[in-house]
Structure 1
Amino acid sequence: MIRMLLRVLGDEYARAMRRTVILMTITAVVEGLSYALLVPVLRALLGSTPADAVPWLVAFGAAVALYAVLRYISDLSGMRVGTTMLRGMYHRLGEHLARLPLGWYNAGRIGEVSVLAGRGLLQAMGVAAHLLAPFISALITPLTIVAVMTAVNWRMGLAALLAAPVVAAIQAWTARATVAADAERHERDQEASGRVIEFLQAQPVLRTGGRTGERFQLLDDSLLDAQRASRRTVLATLPSAVGLTLTVQAIFTGLLVLGAYLALGGSIGAAEILAILVLAARCADPLLSLSDIGGKLRGARSELARLETVLRTEPLREPHEPIQPAHHGLEFDAVTFRHGEHTVFDEVTLTLPEGQRLAVVGPSGAGKSTLLQLLARFYDVDAGAVRVGGVDVRTISTEELMARIAIVFQDVYLFDGTIEENVRLGRPDAGVAEVRAAATAARLDDVIERLPGGWAAHVGEGGALLSGGERQRVSIARALLKNAPIVLLDEVTSALDPVNEAAVHEGIQRLMAGRTVVMVAHRMRTVRRADRIVFLDGGRIVEEGSHDELLDHGGRYAEIWNISIPGVGGRRSPTPVGSAAGGQHGRVRHRAGCGPLTGGTRARSAGNEPPD
């Protein structure tokens, strides 16, 4: 346990932790040695001259006072080390999380880290402050007392020493027996917490369905599972608690019988017997507390193991000598990327010159959003290279790469602060006039005028006090304020009402002006304005070209266009959709055969554009 704690802490905090452990060990030894003075005290009190006990009583009082001072210093050191470690581990965990690939964060991981950063870290770092001193005392003090007993009478000391391997065996058995139960209880508790949140979030659905009087079966099942897991944990620890109690009582009884036998035989005096029994009784309390302390330490050890797992997660490697991109063009060079066992991209190659717009379309699960994530280096590719400005993103510092990219996601997260604070995240040092200009360009000023408090209006956690379209406008204003030369858009208007869509669309047009843009979209209104369009499917680019070129090809893109915009009079391909000619014409090579996405002025005709 202590080795794992020192390993997780690192050299910076491990040194202070070692000093605290040594101080607590010395304190426990002094406590045990102070009880040794009871032997001469009792011997004098039961002898012919009880006054001889006075010096020993003074020595005993001094020893107890020394122990009290050491205990105060060691406990204070434990509290200081615990609070210092807690603060340090929060910083270390935060810095490590900031360096992990953004793709590492999924819904399950976010919940796990939030629990770990809250209750888990407090429990793990609370070891030094609350558990370490009693644990060391429960181990070292009884051993010191046994050594004193051995010095008084080796037979009694040897008999007391027999308890040590039995107690150690019970503790080891308990640890093995409760590992599976503790892991199951942790898993069930997390599931039950998730179900409680789900039950609260599902209230509108349950009430509109007329099921307000019914119990939520999934929640009931998860709570019952958590109850059963807790019961199994208690049953797993019960034998050890009972066994430890019986062992301690049995050893004490054995010492009593052995002492009576030795006293009757004249091998030891009554004063020594009484002193040894007092010492044995003093051993019992810390030994019996081992069961409770051990359970708490096992819980802290589990949290430490989870913390260590997170800290051992390999972060994105920063280049030793970062390279500055020469321009703002983008390139995929024979990129292969796997997510688990699934191959998302298989040797995909494409190039987007600086200042042009690329639209990415395709069926769900084709990897459209992943393409954007690879450009922003949320993940590193398994083969090939992703380049920005002709430079592999792995050789660009994260700070430099993020400074060149503005990302607008479909799901926007806002911090629980004011609208102005959320917009300023794009560029914290921006002036007031720049912030206002970005808001106007994103059509956010309309929202601000309606809100009580204006710019000082709070948006709530996650932006809960704003609508989806209003949150999206804040996100676009943030991107405009950042003024990055590369813009990545991920289906930003797919779930908006017509009014908000029009406002957001206007803001996006201003955001894209003069920049290198890669957009993932289902709305053809945005896609058709791109300089080039790629159709992803099955981990490959199956079609590539301008809007008009892809309509002429009559492939998958033309099929989606005609389905999305019925009755507009759009130009359809003379070749039937899905025919061999159309499919072959639309497919491009994926290794070296896919040339740059250059392409000149886009031809437009009213017959094949959807109404705005």
Structure 2
Amino acid sequence: MIRLLLRVLGHEHARPMRRTVALMTAAAVAEGLSYALLVPVLRALFGHAPSDAWPWLISFGAAVAVYAVLRYLGDLSGFRVGTAALRGMYHRLGDHLARLPVGWYDRDRVGELSVLAGPGVLQAMSVLAHLLAPFVSATVTPLTIVAVMLAFSWQMGLAALVAVPVVAAVDVWTGRSTAAADAARTEREQDATGRVVEYLQAQPVLRAGGRTTERFHLLDDSLRDLRRASRRSALAALPGALGLTLTVQAVFTALLALGAHLALGGSLGPAQTLTLLVLAARCADPLLSLTDIAGKLRGARHVLARLDTVLSTAPLPEPADPVRPVGHGLAFDSVVFRRGGRTVLDDVSLSVPEGQRIAVVGPSGAGKSTLLHLIARFHDVDAGAVRVGGVDVRDIGTDGLTGRIAVVFQDVHLFDGTIEENVRLGRPDASAAEVRAAATAARLDEVVERLPGGWAAHVGEGGALLSGGERQRVSVARALLKDAPVVLLDEVTSALDPVNEAAVHEGIERLTAGRTVVMVAHRMRTVRRADRIVFLDGGRIVEDGGHDELLRRGGRYAGFWNLSSHPVLPRS
């Protein structure tokens, strides 16, 4: 458990954690040893001179004081280390997630990361602040007491020692019997969280379909499964809890009977017998609490294992000596890319000279957006190479590559801040005049003038307070402010109204002027302005050429053009 915790947190926390464990262990040992002083105390009290108990009582009080100080220092250290570890865990997890390939973030991980980054991290880090001290006390103190019992009566000590592996076996059995149920509950919890997010995101669709009063069956089923899994998890832990309780009670009863037998036989005096029974009773309390503590530790360990899996996910490798591209041309050299067991791009070779615009068209699922993702290195290719300025993107480095590329996607995400803050993401060190100029070029200034608060107006979570066209203008302004030599456009006007489409097109024209551009588009108005057109289908380039040239060939692009220019209307 400690090794896993250190692996997740990082070895910079190793020394303070070892110090914390040492303090907690010392406190538990001091607690157990302090009970040894009860033997001379009770012996004196039951003897001919009860006043002889005072020195032993003072020693007992001093031992308890030492234990109290050690327990305070151990608990305080646990809280401090836990707080530092929590802060460090959030930083480490956030930094690692920021370095993972963008393609790693699929829909299935929404619920997992939501649970893991929220209550999951808190549960895992609570081990240091709330669980470690009780666990050490529940294990080390009884073992110390057993050693004390061995020192005063080998028969009683040996009987207590025999019970140690029995209690440990019951605890291990409980953990194994609940592992599957706990894992199933965690899986259902992640699925339910994802369904809640999906339900919230689907509100516009549900309301448009007039289903606001209906139950969302996918969410209902997921919550029902979570309830069943939670019930199974609780029932699975019940036999272990009862088994440990019965085992501890049976051991105490056996020690009570053995102590009475030894006392009646004259092997033990009354004071010694009473003290050893008190020690045995003192062992029972922490052992009975072990079930609850161990259950919480197993839950925390499961979260730590999931955190370890995420943190062990390798980010895209960075070059030791990044190469700086000379130009800004693009090239695909026999690129093969697979995802989910499917070949998305198959032996694609394509060159885009510096300053040229190329449009990529084709049916849905042909791999068009994947071309853009590979240029931006959201994924690494399985074979071949993607080059910018003649240099493999894997040899450029993330900072060098992202500094040369501006990306405008169809789905624009804005952060819950002001419009100016969202535009500044393109270049945080830009001056106010540069931000205003980029906004004007994207015709975003028209939006700012309409908003209460102007530049200080908040856009809401995900840009919810702006329309789709207005969010797209922010995205274009952000790209203009970045002023990168390579521009990637992905269906930026496919769902805009005519007014916003015209404004975005105007901004796109300014953005792409003199730059190397790869655009994925369905609108023929956008396609015709390209210097070259590539028709992609089934992960392969089936046609490549200029607009007029491809129309004269009468191939796939010509059919696509005719269908887009003269759509077939349904019969009335």
TM-score between the two structures when normalised by the length of structure 1: 0.91
Count residues with an aligned counterpart: 568
Match runs of 1:301-312 below 5 Å: 301-312=301-312
Mapped to 2, the partners of 1:214 and 1:508 lie a distance apart of 42
Corresponding position of 2:503: 503
- Opposite residue 465 of structure 2, the aligned amino acid is L
Q: Which residue of 2 aligns with 1:407?
A: 407
**Secondary structure in 2 matching 1:107:** coil
The structural deviation recorded for 1:132 is 0.5
Residue 396 of structure 1 aligns with which residue? 396
For 1:173 and 1:349, the matched residues in 2 are separated by 58
Shift of 1:236: 0.6
Offset from partner CA, 1:250-273 (integer Å, 9 cap, x none): 111111111111111111111011
**Letter of the aligned partner of 2:74 in structure 1?**
S
Describe how 1:31-430 pairs up with structure 2 within 5 A. Answer: 31-203=31-203, 206=206, 211=211, 213-430=213-430
Instruction: Report if the CA contact (8 A) 2:534-2:545 is conserved.
Output: yes
- 1:483 correspondence with 2:483: yes
Cα distance in 2 for partners of 1:429, 1:206 equals 42
More displaced stretch, 510-519 vs 204-213 = 204-213
| Counterparts in 2 of 1:171 and 1:380: CA distance versus 1, 3 Å | same
| 3-state SS of paired residue (2:108) | helix
Answer yes or no: is the 8 Å Cα contact 2:110–2:194 preserved in 1: no
- Residue by residue over 1:507-543, the C-alpha shift from the partner in whole angstroms, topping out at 9 and shown as x without a partner, is 1111111100000011111011101111111111000
Give the aligned residue type for 1:477.
A
One-letter amino acid of the structure 1 residue matched with residue 429 of structure 2 = D
| Cα distance between partner residues in 2 of 1:326 and 1:200 | 47
CA separation in 2, counterparts of 1:344 and 1:215? Answer: 37
Give secondary structure in 1 for the equivalent of 2:338. strand
1:115 Cα deviation after fit: 2.1
Indicate the larger mover: 158-167 or 265-274: 158-167
SS at match of 2:371: helix
Q: In structure 2, what residue type is equivalent to 1:396?
A: I
- Cα displacement (A) at 1:99: 1.6
**Code of the aligned partner of 1:234:** A
- Cα shift at 1:325: 0.2
Task: Find the counterpart in structure 2 of residue 548 from structure 1.
Answer: 548
Q: Higher mean Cα deviation, 90-99 or 314-323?
A: 90-99
Measured at CA, do residues 92 and 211 of structure 1 come closer, stay the same or move farther in structure 2, by a change above 3 Å?
closer
Q: What is the alpha-carbon distance in structure 2 between the residues aligned to residue 93 and residue 207 of structure 1?
A: 37
CA distance in 1, matches of 2:2, 2:468: 49
SS at match of 1:37: helix
RMSD: 1.5
Q: Secondary structure at the match of 1:162?
A: helix
> What amino acid does structure 1 have at the position aligned with 2:55?
P
- Hey, what's the Cα distance between the residues in 2 that align with 1:534 and 1:208? 37
In 1, Cα distance between the equivalents of 2:255 and 2:40?
20
Aligned to 2:561: 561
2:469 aligned with 1:469? yes
Q: Is the 8 A contact 2:359 2:519 kept in 1?
A: yes
State which drifts further: 211-220 or 435-444: 211-220
Q: Distance in 1 between matches of 2:505 and 2:60?
A: 84
Amino acid at match of 1:104: W
Percent sequence identity is: 77
Superposed displacement of residue 411, structure 1: 0.5
What is the rounded CA distance, in whole Å, between the counterparts of 1:383 and 1:567 in structure 2?
38
Aligned equivalents of 1:205, 1:409: Cα separation in 2: 22
Runs (5+) with no aligned partner, structure 2:
none
Cα displacement (A) at 1:446: 0.7
d(CA) in 2 for partners of 1:109, 1:226: 17
Structure 1 residues 176-197: Cα deviation after superposition (integer angstroms, max 9, x where no partner)? 1111111111111222233334
SS, match of residue 358 in structure 2: strand
How much has 1:559 moved relative to structure 2? 0.3
- Aligned partner of 2:8 in structure 1 is 8
1:71-119: per-residue Cα shift (whole Å, max 9, x none)? 0100011111111111112121122112211111122224322321211
CA distance in 2, matches of 1:536, 1:477: 29
Contact 2:114 2:193 in 1 (8 A): no
Query: Cα distance 1:210–1:532, how it changes in 2: closer, same or farther (>3 A)?
Result: closer
User: How far is the alpha carbon of 1:340 from its aligned partner?
Assistant: 2.8
CA displacement 1:220-243 (0-9 Å, x = unmatched): 322221111111001110001001
Bigger mean CA deviation after superposition, 103-112 or 172-181: 103-112
CA distance in 1, matches of 2:527, 2:360: 8
CA deviation profile, 1:299-329 (whole Å, cap 9, x unmatched): 1101101110011111111111111101000
Partners of 1:294 and 1:547 in 2: CA distance: 69
TM-score by length of 2: 0.97
Gaps of 5+ in 1: 569-612
1:485 and 1:479 mapped to 2: Cα distance? 11
* Change over 3 Å in CA distance of 1:203–1:365 after alignment to 2: closer
From the superposition, tell whether residues 10 and 475 of structure 1 become closer, same or farther in structure 2 (CA, over 3 Å): same
Q: Using the TM superposition, name which of 8-17 and 247-256 deviates more.
A: 8-17
SS of 1:131's equivalent in the other structure is: helix
Structure 1 outlier segments of 4+, above 6 Å: none
Return the alpha-carbon distance in structure 1 between the equivalents of residues 523 and 477 of structure 2.
Answer: 21
Aligned to 2:525: 525
